[in-house]
Amino acid sequence: MSVTALRGRIVSFKDDPFAGASADCLMHEPDGLVIIRDGRIEAVGPYDALCGKLPDAAIVVSYPDAIISAGFIDAHVHYPQLQMIGAYGAQLLEWLDRYVFPAELAFADAAHAGRVAKTFLRELLRAGTTTAAVYCTVHPHSVDAFFAESERFNTRMIAGKVLMDRHAPPALLDTAERGYDESLALIRRWHGRGRQLYAVTPRFAPSCSPAQLDAAAGLLRQADGLFLQTHLAENLAEVEWVRTLFPGSSSYLDVYEKAGLVGERSIFGHAIHLREQDFCTCHRTGAALAHCPTSNRFLGSGAFRLFDALDPRRPVRVALGTDVGAGTSLSQLATLNEAYKTAQSLGHPLDAIQAFWLATLGGARALRLDDRIGRVAPGYEADLCVLDLKATPLLAFRTGFCDSVEELLFTLMTLGDDRMVRATWVAGVPVYDRDRGDDARFQPPASQAAASRT
């Protein structure tokens, strides 16, 4: 088996910086080596200590003036909305009617779904994101298109067909029975195939009848390791709508819990307008919340109370989501910028170690995948991103004045975007390299193998 090694400054995590002192949770190797064999990390440590252990045929790739990190994790994103990112002037419910539903109607065309999936996956890789929890549309072929593209690049992705049987254009509605049957077929086709994982995906409570929510719960019992993803308490008008649609429930989250949809692999997007009892429910059940700060600010939905969610007396698992198209960037660096501002506005400064933990190991923990992704550590899947400290003249100038790795990370998350991503490695293969020629910038593993043989 071939061996590849990456040399550079390595940053990773030993523990949760929200539960202990941030500095004690960081792993930093100023001149390190990551040894990769057969898609997994075999060893990590100082270059001087490990370089002598490399086989003669090993390929060493050096990244000076860069940080090698675990690949970013995006816990909430809509690939069909890429075509209307940055749409103007509406809050959530009007925004869905005016922009989102018309965009998703176009996915009746399977060729269109394939074209958008191809663009979306490449933009994720350009942003250094190697795992995402992705919403498709109501059309089963939208799921096939996304997973097929992910399979080409061997990325570990979570995705599912949206379930909606009311309060949307007729062409975007299914029924409880059809949604169940189509989802079950997709689960059997894709869940656990290579690195692909399936999420049962009711869009949100207002678009799902009680029968469809019950059917979603039934789907979760059909295979081990399935995820549940949906939206929760994003907008005050939405919360009030849910109250009128489900008068027997004590809260928005209670709607999902009564249906059997709140568990340790449940991911709830936004979760802005939660009460203490809802945080307690998430803690008790192990459910995760996806913090989507660029979207929350763009739609005027409100501010997610990150530090309330992470209260050490009953911590809730939290990950970051870009939420494109309401979110304005697929870059987790840009997302961290907005997460910092949101936390600062609520009186809780978010330090850089906490922030990068959310984007990597914290996200993996929220998704229950922290035994395989989210760290630069032996035994982990070699999903990595390389962040260029001199990607722009301003960044090169500013990082020259940084006195610590913490300051470097904070500078990246406040000045950074996709331009900072020098390379993205998936299962030990450099599937994206910013500095390759345009035609070769994105290369799935089969292309990489062919290139290495010629």
Tell me whether domains 3-70+374-453 and 72-366 share a fold: no
pLDDT for 151-160, tens place per residue? 999 999 999 9
pLDDT for 271-312, tens place per residue? 999 999 999 999 999 999 999 999 999 999 999 999 999 999
> Looking at the domain that runs over 3-70+374-453, which CATH code has it been given?
2.30.40.10
CATH class for the domain made up of 72-366? alpha beta
Average pLDDT, the chain: 96
What predicted TM-score, i.e. pTM, was given to this entire model? Answer: 0.97
Q: Report the pLDDT value the prediction gives residue 447, as an integer from 0 to 100.
A: 64
C-alpha distances out from residue 194 to 41, 157, 427, Å: 18, 10, 12
Residue pair 253/268 in contact by the 8 Å Cβ criterion: yes
d(CA 104, CA 37): 41
d(CA 18, CA 307): 9
Domain residue ranges of the chain, discontinuous segments joined by +? 3-70+374-453, 72-366
pLDDT for 53-78, tens place per residue? 999 999 999 999 999 999 999 999 99
C-alpha distances out from residue 449 to 60, 150, 196, 371, 382, Å: 16, 17, 21, 28, 17
Chain centre distance of CA 83: 19
Per-residue confidence at 89, pLDDT binned at 50, 70, 90? confident
Residue 413 has pLDDT above 50, yes or no: yes
Q: Report the pLDDT value the prediction gives residue 70, as an integer from 0 to 100.
A: 98
pLDDT for 99-128, tens place per residue? 999 999 999 999 999 999 999 999 999 999
Chain centre distance of CA 281: 23
d(CA 152, CA 155): 8
Per-residue confidence at 449, pLDDT binned at 50, 70, 90? very low
